[in-house]
């Protein structure tokens, strides 16, 4: 069953639950409301609602709606604390792809690639990841076979809850993979740790890699078969995709010479063989009916402009990249357009003559490509990639002409094709250069509409550039630049890198973000990352 929003909208039925708001950015969280676990988890429906809350925390900031001052995370503006908004900002603003004119605290530092331990985005993403991990840990504690038996939950209900447990473990492994990638050495707790009794210990990046790998491999056979789960829920292909991605980045996480490129090829091949196919039209991947127009998307974060309202997610992504001079109604946001984001010149230049390019992925608006003043919203091109409209031109659901109903394609097949190709080029076995080139050219054939853009041979630099053209503004770029050795140093410069208009070297320690200073102060077990 692939019903669009059931798993998220069910969470809105929970008026109160065992989960409390974060008091600190810490894994040491204790429920503080009057409803105890035995009440929340007394029925199969209670388990389903608690499970929905775990998923919903990925997309929402609380149960009060986008205008509320109260969200899941105490001490933050709720509009600034959803996962996608913070993750996207840190991955894209810190890279060669996006800039932002807003003077909000932390934004300029991110544009320069130099956010510090008190940066709001650094704190917000860290807290959001940990919050979802905390929800998972609590759900797993309360859904063991012993707990189910003690509450007389048996039969199909118990079977369903077992699947919920596997998906919850996937979500936890995903969030730990984000913390591993961006922060390196975060605090670490699982359901085995007694809540409220211990300060979370710090885990080393290599050990966290091993944990994420072992969790995903342990649950891959328990998750639903590819393309058989409810829409917006993880299946085996989602787990395989995350495994392929962490294997591709393994030398970053484990050290030089410790690459797991053979494993990356193996898991990419599992995804490729699972029945997915590239969308016929690239633009359709970023429109509101993307779940119907192709079999390319492996996992989405779901949004609905009526049922799951947030000023983050794709509402942020679409409105932030549109200004009033772009006819917001054509983007499905007649009441919106926030005039904030635009591309750094290095992104459209990947497409050569972007204004007349035959590569259909070059989706830009404006005439001024240069970035001379980061405080001017029209100083650089805007992207028209994401829209709150369908492939037939119908406006996506929106209560106020600003909230959006575009599901974000978190994992998709084109990325997996490029993972396979890069892993082959990096020396992995079990694949072939011929197949790598074929996957690479399939992506380009869609982009050009024919074979005119095909290459006869590819290099690692071709892979990096193609990832930029294919996956731009989808939250990959900072990680990609680090893996290719392009993020720090001065070998590759882009506008405002390091806070200088022409760009300057970033220090090597910035390949890791800092842990938030508030958590380092609160938890004596944490040591700040080098350089901060």
Give percent of the chain above pLDDT 70: 91
Torsion over CA: 183, 186, 192, 196 (sign) = negative
**pLDDT at residue number 198:** 77
| Residue with the larger pLDDT of the pair 73 and 57 | 57
The answer to whether residue 23 scores a pLDDT higher than 90 is no
Q: Which band of pLDDT confidence, cut at 50, 70 and 90, is reported for residue 314? A: very high
Same domain, 100 and 243: no
pLDDT tens profile 210-219: 999 999 999 9
Mean pLDDT rounded to a whole number for the chain = 91
| Calpha distance 118→122 (Å, rounded) | 7
Domain presence at residue 400: no
Neighbour count for residue 151 (Cβ, 10 Å)? 18
Where does residue 152 fall: left (phi above 0), alpha (psi -120 to 50 degrees), or beta otherwise?
A: left
Structural tokens at position 218: 């342990």
Q: What is the dihedral of CA 17, 19, 22, 26, to 10 degrees?
A: 180
pLDDT tens profile 32-61: 334 567 788 999 999 999 999 999 999 888
Structural tokens at position 320: 């932030």
Closest CA to 121 of 70, 86, 69: 86
The answer to whether residue 10 scores a pLDDT higher than 80 is no
How much is the average pLDDT of 74-100? 91
How much is the average pLDDT of 94-121? 96
Domain presence at residue 390: no
Same domain, 289 and 184: no
| Calpha distance 325→481 (Å, rounded) | 33
402 Cβ neighbours under 8 A, 6+ residues apart: 315, 319, 333, 335, 336
Give percent of the chain above pLDDT 90: 84
| Calpha distance 448→354 (Å, rounded) | 13
The tally of domains found in the chain comes to 2
Structural tokens at position 313: 């997610």
What is the DSSP track for 131-172?
HHHHHHHHHHHHTSHHHHHHTT--HHHHHHHHHHHHHHHHHH
| Calpha distance 463→225 (Å, rounded) | 30
Same domain, 107 and 256: no
Closest CA to 245 of 484, 480, 485: 480
Strand pairing category for 408-412 and 297-301: antiparallel
H helix intervals, 190-260: 205-219, 236-248, 250-254
Same domain, 260 and 248: yes
Asked if 269 contacts 420 with a C-beta cutoff of 8 angstroms, the reply is yes
**pLDDT at residue number 163:** 97
How much is the average pLDDT of 66-78? 71
198 Cβ neighbours under 8 A, 6+ residues apart: 28, 189
**pLDDT at residue number 68:** 59
The answer to whether residue 4 scores a pLDDT higher than 90 is no
The answer to whether residue 73 scores a pLDDT higher than 70 is yes
152 Cβ neighbours under 8 A, 6+ residues apart: none
**Rounded-to-5 percentages of helix, strand, coil across the chain:** 45, 5, 50
Same domain, 231 and 145: no
pLDDT tens profile 389-435: 999 999 999 999 999 999 999 999 999 999 999 999 999 999 999 99
| Calpha distance 180→460 (Å, rounded) | 24
Same domain, 95 and 156: yes
Same domain, 191 and 228: no
The per-residue b/e assignment along 250-268, b for 16 or more CB within 10 angstroms, e otherwise, is bbbbbeeeebbbbbbbbbb
Domain presence at residue 367: no
How much is the average pLDDT of 512-522? 97
What SS3 state is found at 308? Answer: strand
- Rounded to the nearest angstrom, the gap between the alpha carbon of residue 331 and the centroid of all alpha carbons in its chain is 22
Asked if 143 contacts 41 with a C-beta cutoff of 8 angstroms, the reply is yes
Closest CA to 234 of 132, 90, 125: 132
Q: Which band of pLDDT confidence, cut at 50, 70 and 90, is reported for residue 294? A: very high
Strand pairing category for 341-343 and 98-100: antiparallel
Same domain, 208 and 280: no
Same domain, 159 and 238: no
Closest CA to 181 of 410, 475, 425: 475
How much is the average pLDDT of 226-251? 98
509 Cβ neighbours under 8 A, 6+ residues apart: 529, 530, 531, 532
Domain presence at residue 243: yes
The answer to whether residue 74 scores a pLDDT higher than 50 is yes
**pLDDT at residue number 453:** 94
Domain presence at residue 391: no
Closest CA to 163 of 123, 247, 219: 219
Domain presence at residue 140: yes
CATH label of the domain that carries residue 3:
1.25.40.390
The answer to whether residue 356 scores a pLDDT higher than 90 is no
Helix (H) or strand (E) holding 371: none
Same domain, 140 and 266: no
Q: Which band of pLDDT confidence, cut at 50, 70 and 90, is reported for residue 257? A: very high
**pLDDT at residue number 75:** 78
**pLDDT at residue number 34:** 40
Q: Which band of pLDDT confidence, cut at 50, 70 and 90, is reported for residue 18? A: very low
Domain presence at residue 325: no
The answer to whether residue 306 scores a pLDDT higher than 60 is yes
| Calpha distance 169→162 (Å, rounded) | 11
**pLDDT at residue number 6:** 47
The answer to whether residue 385 scores a pLDDT higher than 80 is yes
Structural tokens at position 282: 């690239």
Same domain, 266 and 208: no
- Diameter over CA atoms, the chain: 67
CATH label of the domain that carries residue 237:
1.25.40.10
Same domain, 435 and 513: no
Task: Name the residue range of residue 522's domain.
Answer: 1-218+489-532
Domain presence at residue 62: yes
- Rounded to the nearest angstrom, the gap between the alpha carbon of residue 157 and the centroid of all alpha carbons in its chain is 31
């Amino acid at each position: 069953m692939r019903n669009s929003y059931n798993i998220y909208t069910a969470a809105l039925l929970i008026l109160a639950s065992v989960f409390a708001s974060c008091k600190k950015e810490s894994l040491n969280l204790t429920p503080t409301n009057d409803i105890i676990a035995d009440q929340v988890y007394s029925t199969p429906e209670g388990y389903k609602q608690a499970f929905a809350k775990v998923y919903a925390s990925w997309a929402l900031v609380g149960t009060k709606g986008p205008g509320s001052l109260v969200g899941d995370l105490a001490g933050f503006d709720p509009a600034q604390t959803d996962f996608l908004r913070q993750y996207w900002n840190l991955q894209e603003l810190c890279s060669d792809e996006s800039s932002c004119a807003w003077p909000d605290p932390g934004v300029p530092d991110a544009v320069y690639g130099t956010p510090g331990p008190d940066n709001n985005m650094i704190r917000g993403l860290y807290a959001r990841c940990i919050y979802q991990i905390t929800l998972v840990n609590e759900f797993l504690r309360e859904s063991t076979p012993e707990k189910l038996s003690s509450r007389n939950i048996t039969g199909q209900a118990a079977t369903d809850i077992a699947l919920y447990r596997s998906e919850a473990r996937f979500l936890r492994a995903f969030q730990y993979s984000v913390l591993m990638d961006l922060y390196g050495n975060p605090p670490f707790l699982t359901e085995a740790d007694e809540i409220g009794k211990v300060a979370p210990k710090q885990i080393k990046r290599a050990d966290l890699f091993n944990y994420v790998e072992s969790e995903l491999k342990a649950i891959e056979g328990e998750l639903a078969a590819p393309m058989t789960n409810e829409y917006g829920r993880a299946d085996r292909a989602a787990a395989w995709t995350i495994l392929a991605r962490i294997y591709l980045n393994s030398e970053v996480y484990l050290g030089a010479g410790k690459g797991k490129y053979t494993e990356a090829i193996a898991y990419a091949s599992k995804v490729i063989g699972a029945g997915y196919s590239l969308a016929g039209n690239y633009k359709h991947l970023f429109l509101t009916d993307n779940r119907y127009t192709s079999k390319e998307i492996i996992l989405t974060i779901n949004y609905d402009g009526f049922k799951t309202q947030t000023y983050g997610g794709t509402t942020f992504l679409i409105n932030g990249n549109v200004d009033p001079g772009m006819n917001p109604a054509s983007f499905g946001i007649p009441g919106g357009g926030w005039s904030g984001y635009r591309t750094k010149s290095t992104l459209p230049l990947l497409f050569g003559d972007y204004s007349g390019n035959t590569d259909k992925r070059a989706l830009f608006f404006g005439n001024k490509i240069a970035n001379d003043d980061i405080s001017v919203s029209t100083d650089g091109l805007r992207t028209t990639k994401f829209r709150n409209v369908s492939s037939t031109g119908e406006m996506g659901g929106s209560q106020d002409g600003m909230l959006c109903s575009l599901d974000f394609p978190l994992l998709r097949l084109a990325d997996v094709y490029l993972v396979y190709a890069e892993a082959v080029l990096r020396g992995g076995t079990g694949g072939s250069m011929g197949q790598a080139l074929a996957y690479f050219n399939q992506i380009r054939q869609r982009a050009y509409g024919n074979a005119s853009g095909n290459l006869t041979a590819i290099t690692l630099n071709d892979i990096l550039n193609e990832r930029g053209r294919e996956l731009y503004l989808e939250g990959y770029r900072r990680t990609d630049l680090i893996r290719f050795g392009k993020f720090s140093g001065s070998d590759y410069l882009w506008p405002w890198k390091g806070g200088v208009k022409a760009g300057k070297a970033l220090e090597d320690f910035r390949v890791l973000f800092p842990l938030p200073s508030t958590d380092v102060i609160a938890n004596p077990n944490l040591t700040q990352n080098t350089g901060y």
